[in-house]
Amino acid sequence: MGQPIDDTAVNALFRDARTYTKWQPRPVAEQTLRDLYDLLKWAPTSANGAPARFAFLQSKEAKERLRPALAPLNVAKTMSAPVTVIVAYDLRFYEQLPKLFPHSPGMAKMFGSNPELVETTAKRNSSLQGAYLIVAARALGLDCGPMSGFDNKKVDEEFFAAGKPCFGCDQEFFPEGHVKSNFLCNLGYGDPGALHPRLPRLLFSEACSIL
Ligand SMILES: Cc1cc2nc3c(=O)[nH]c(=O)nc-3n(C[C@H](O)[C@H](O)[C@H](O)COP(=O)(O)O)c2cc1C
């Protein structure tokens, strides 16, 4: 606390971490996916609401269900990835607030009467949680390939609509169709031989101001 983490760790999380499109033939253990969630869950969200839901597609069958929704350029990299996560958000996330934010009992009611606030809050925080997933995956030695090139409507119908399986979750949120996809993220151990040179980033002076 109060001290920077060492440079090797910072490099692994940021400076040396890349977006991968080709994968080593090395599987990702189910325990690693559980460890991944157990890390990312600690990162902050509004009112501790944690609206993100994560569907880890690992079986060939689950991947095939995703295939028709993928943009053509994303098919090969996704079908060959050991795991593809659908980072989604639950529009009924506020129903969990009595457990997650118990000291403020009015909060669930406030969201329940304001669908616009629900949507904005769920999207913002699931995007944050998706970013936490990327950083946590890198901390566990995994590589990532995030993607927004897919048909959200098709994914929502296939994975989150009425009557669909809930991926072993212990809540009933999936079958009722109030979970929406945000973005996809391939996970695995990347093939560094397939990387193109690193693209530039904006300078501090182009992206930031200190007021
Ligand atoms: C939300 C998001 C959506 C993206 N969508 C796609 C995509 O659909 N297809 C793709 O090939 N790359 C996609 N990318 C990858 C970016 O182009 C890549 O992360 C960026 O160029 C930085 O590459 P680097 O991490 O290797 O420096 C996406 C990245 C993010 C974070």
Atom 19 of ligand 1: nearest residue by CA position = 19
Q: Return the amino acid letter for 131.
A: A
Judge contact between 130 and 146, C-beta under 8 A: yes
Q: Is the CB of 120 under 6 A from ligand 1?
A: no
pTM: 0.94
Q: Given the CA of residue 145, which atom of ligand 1 is nearest to it?
A: 15
Q: Is the CB of 199 under 6 A from ligand 1?
A: yes
Helix (H, G, I), strand (E, B) or coil at 83: strand
Ligand 1 binding pocket includes 186 (Cβ within 6 Å)? no
Ligand 1 atom closest to residue 199's alpha carbon, by position in its atom list:
27
**pLDDT band at 13; cut points 50, 70, 90:** very high
Please tell me the predicted confidence (pLDDT) of residue 201.
98
**174 vs 44, which has greater pLDDT?**
44
The residues facing 85 across adjacent strands are 56, 185
Q: Do 26 and 188 form a contact (C-beta atoms < 8 A)? A: yes
pLDDT score of 43 more than 70: yes
- Cα(78) to centroid of ligand 1, in Å? 13
pLDDT given at position 177: 77
When computed from its CA atoms, the radius of gyration of the chain, rounded to whole angstroms, is 18
pLDDT digits (tens, 9 = 90+) for 125-183: 999 999 999 999 999 999 999 999 999 999 999 998 745 555 555 544 445 578 999 99
Beta-strand relationship, 179-188 and 83-90? antiparallel
The alpha carbon of 149 and the centre of ligand 1 are apart by a number of angstroms equal to 9
Ligand 1 lined by 19 (C-beta under 6 Å): yes
pLDDT per residue as tens digits for the range 48-65: 999 999 999 999 999 999
Strand order in the sheet with 143-147: 52-57, 83-90, 179-188, 143-147
